[in-house]
Each structure stands twice: as C-alpha cells, then as structure tokens.
Structure 1
Amino acid sequence: MIQENLKKIKSSLPQGVTLVAVSKTKPNGDILEAYETGHRIFGENKVQELTSKYEELPKDIEWHMIGHLQRNKVKYIAPFVKLIHGVDSLRLLKEINKQAKKAERVQDVLLQMHIAEESTKFGLDENELKEILEQLDEFPHVRVIGLMGMATFTDDKAKIAREFSLLASIFEKYKRDYQLTTLSMGMSGDYPIAIENGSNMIRVGSSIFGERNYG
C-alpha cells in the first residue's frame, strides 16, 4: 500500500517538486518499504526518533528535520541532517551555525515564516526575516536555501490559497538577492493548493503511510 501511494503521488507531481515523505512515528519497516521504490527523502519531527532512524536505516537516506527544533537538541543532528525546515529565530540559526562548524560542514536550512491566520504556529514575520537575511554573512556554516510555512488547518481552500500565495510573494521578493531556491509548503491535506501557488517542496505523511498512531 505504501509503495502504491508513493508512486501515485509522485506521478501526479509537476517536474521540479520535491517530495519529503514524512515518516514520523512510523516504524523502520514502513520507511524501508518506501525506500524500495527508490525514494530517499524522509522527514522527522523529533530529534530522538530522527537520530535512531539515522543509525538504523540505510546511509543514503536524506533526512530532513521538519518539526520545531529546540536549540539544545541541534548538536545531535548536526553531523548528518540534510535540511532543517523550521528555523524560526536568530538564536536557533546561531546554534545551528555553531554545531555545523563543530561537525565541519555547512548546514542547509529553511526559514519558517508565520503565514497562518491562527496564532499557534511558529514562524517569523517579514521584518524578522529581513533582519536574519541581512546577517547571514555572520553564519558561514549555515546556508539558507529557502522559506517554508504552514497554512491554517481548515477546510476553507480560499483561505489556504491566500496564505500560500502570501508566502510565495515573500519568497519572490527575496529569492534573487539571497539565492533562495526552495519554497516548502503543502502537506497531505493541502499540497495541491500549495503547488498551484508555487511550492517546490511538499511534506506528505498520512497520504503515503496512512494515519498516524500517536498511542
């Protein structure tokens, strides 16, 4: 079932859209089933789960940290994580730079924008984004490759489209000056709307692996 779901989603995606298979809470066997189709990009939202899966699963998997990341946990993933999606403060960026330096690598990150009209989501406003972008020279071990954001959890498609469109316009505004290439928005419930609004990276979990069991 996982392989069928994955192939179906991939065949429906426009060229140039990267699919991150969100494997959080899923067992290694499920990930290997997806891996056997040739898929290599997986996203996790808990540091402990991410590091143990990294140790136990094939080394050519490209791991993405997609959840809210605490500064004191950066050191555990700094040696291997391919992309950190949710950088939502200058303090977190400084810590990532510090740990990436220790690991002798340059860490790719996305800056997380607050676009949802609900107040619970993390993220930067445009002034904070500008402030960070203007200081990037101070962080030689971090490479900001783009922006990410999450729309409001709602059935109102027009509202979702409006929020994605807002993030796309911010991305367009800064992408040339700061060499941004990745706009990550869209999850299982709303990725077609995200792609219509310019997303080139989507994070899909339940549509591939089935509903999550948090028990």
Structure 2
Amino acid sequence: MPPVPASAIATRLSAIRQRLEAACRRCGRAPESVQLIAVSKKQPVAAMAAAAAAGQQLFGESYVQEFIDKQQQLDLPLEWHFIGALQSNKVKYLRGRTALIHSVDRWSLAQEIDRQWGRIGQRARILLQVNLAGETSKAGVAPDQLSELASQISTLAHVRLEGLMCLPPYAADPEQVRPWFRQLRQLAATLQLEVLSMGMSHDFEVAIEEGATLIRVGTALFGERD
C-alpha cells in the first residue's frame, strides 16, 4: 500500500479536528477539553513528521521497540503516549520517555512502573485499561476489580493514576458503542478520575459526546497500516 502524501495527512488532520470541534459543540464542551492522539504504530516516520509539520504534537505507540526507535529518529518536541499492551520486563525501556501510559491493567505492572520511575525520582502518569465486555482477546481489568486495583495503586509513591482507558467491542454503528463509553465515564466518576481515553477513528465523535478527554485516531489520519 503506497504511503499517504504529506499534503493528504495535513488535510485529514484538519478534517479530524473539525469533526472533533463539531462533536464538542453538540454536547456543550470546549474543544480544548479533548486531546487528539495520532496513533502511529506501524506507520512510517515520514508520515509522523508530516503530521507534526501540520501541527500534531501528541502521538501514541503500542510497541516498545518501535516507540524507542521512532522517538530517536524524530528529534522533535513531541508528546508521546504508550497505548499498547505492556509487559513488566519492558517497562524499564519506557522510563522517563513517555508522558502517559494508557494500558495498565494489573498490580504487578503498576509496581514495576513505580519501581522504574522511582529510579529517576519522577512520578509516572497512568491510566487503567478496563475490559468492559470481558473479551478474552483483550487485556484490561474487570470492572468489578477496578476499585481494588485503583486503591492499591494509590499507595505507590511514583505512580499517579489519572483516569481510565477502554477498547470496547467493535461495532460498525458507533451508536452501539455508546453504552460502553458511558459505562467507562460512570466508572471514572465513581473513582473521581477525570481522564478518559476512548474512541478511535470510526467512533470518536460518540466517545466525545460521552466524555472522552483523549481520542486515539490512526486510520482516519494515516490510512490503513501495512
């Protein structure tokens, strides 16, 4: 599949931002309350550079080695989030390199993040990934175990829990996904957490209407991955 031209990426980014702003207007939110994460996993560095040149500053990666390689190649003042499944033995490679980890789903992983960030005297910002539908193919803490995990994490000196993330079951009609987004918002409210990472290329407008503060958009910006 040929790469998307830089001019097309700029055009797509503008269109996504217009959709974001329209969704915010519909539900009475300020557009500044929603951040767009450009999901750049398996995308070429040139495409990311084109997005950055068009004003995109926040990128999300899912694989540790790819994340490190791209961060080294793109010597730009960007904000990097780690959004993929994370093994405890890979945490050390992210230490101090990422602004937010979206995919924490177990106590042992949180402990390792605390240990690694403690070595540099900083606090890691994290989200808890919630497996709302109990899908065996997806990671995430079960909703009924969320409160206990959040309570455990509150004891860690070098971790700051800021919110929740979800990857709900796919549905062609975004309205069918709305209940999952609403459930995540309600869970976050119960825990008094403000950050909600939810919504992707095909359903981010519904996610915004349900309270998303971070939307993760890849295909709509960069096109299909190889």
TM-score normalised per structure 2: 0.88
The answer as to 2:67 corresponding to 1:50 is yes
The sequence identity of aligned pairs, in percent, is 39
1:103 alignment counterpart: 120
- Give the Cα separation in 1 of the matches to 2:132 and 2:50: 34
Alpha-carbon spacing, 1:105–1:209, altered in 2? closer, same or farther (3 Å):
same
Of 143, 155, 179, the residue aligned with 1:126 is: 143
1:5 alignment counterpart: 12
Q: Secondary structure at the match of 2:191?
A: helix
1:31 alignment counterpart: 48
Cα offsets for 1:13-32 (capped at 9, x unmatched): 13111100001111111111
**Displacement after TM superposition at 1:156 (Å):** 4.5
One-letter amino acid of the counterpart of residue 12, structure 1: R
Q: Secondary structure at the match of 1:97?
A: helix
**Displacement after TM superposition at 1:117 (Å):** 5.5
CA contact 2:107–2:153 (8 Å) conserved in 1: no
- Once the two structures are superposed, the pairs formed by residues 162-201 of structure 1 within 5 Å of their partners are 162-175=179-192, 180-201=193-214
Q: How many residues align?
A: 209
Of 81, 85, 88, the residue aligned with 1:68 is: 85
The 4+ residue runs of structure 1 with deviation greater than 4 A are none
- Once the two structures are superposed, the pairs formed by residues 87-98 of structure 1 within 5 Å of their partners are 87-98=104-115
- Give the Cα separation in 1 of the matches to 2:127 and 2:211: 16
- Give the Cα separation in 1 of the matches to 2:19 and 2:170: 23
CA contact 2:19–2:205 (8 Å) conserved in 1: no
2:4 alignment counterpart: none
**Displacement after TM superposition at 1:95 (Å):** 0.5
1:112 alignment counterpart: 129
2:169 alignment counterpart: 152
CA contact 2:38–2:58 (8 Å) conserved in 1: yes
What 5-or-longer segments of structure 2 have no aligned partner? 1-7, 25-30
Cα offsets for 1:89-134 (capped at 9, x unmatched): 0110001111111132111110011113633221112332211222
1:205 alignment counterpart: 218
**Displacement after TM superposition at 1:54 (Å):** 1.1
- Give the Cα separation in 1 of the matches to 2:47 and 2:224: 13
**Displacement after TM superposition at 1:76 (Å):** 0.4
2:28 alignment counterpart: none
Q: Which moved more, 1:78-87 or 1:131-140?
A: 131-140
CA contact 2:38–2:60 (8 Å) conserved in 1: yes
Alpha-carbon spacing, 1:143–1:76, altered in 2? closer, same or farther (3 Å):
same
**Displacement after TM superposition at 1:11 (Å):** 2.3
Alpha-carbon spacing, 1:130–1:103, altered in 2? closer, same or farther (3 Å):
same
- Give the Cα separation in 2 of the matches to 1:116 and 1:4: 35
- Give the Cα separation in 1 of the matches to 2:176 and 2:107: 29
CA contact 1:116–1:150 (8 Å) conserved in 2: no
RMSD: 1.4
- Give the Cα separation in 2 of the matches to 1:208 and 1:153: 19
TM-score normalised per structure 1: 0.92
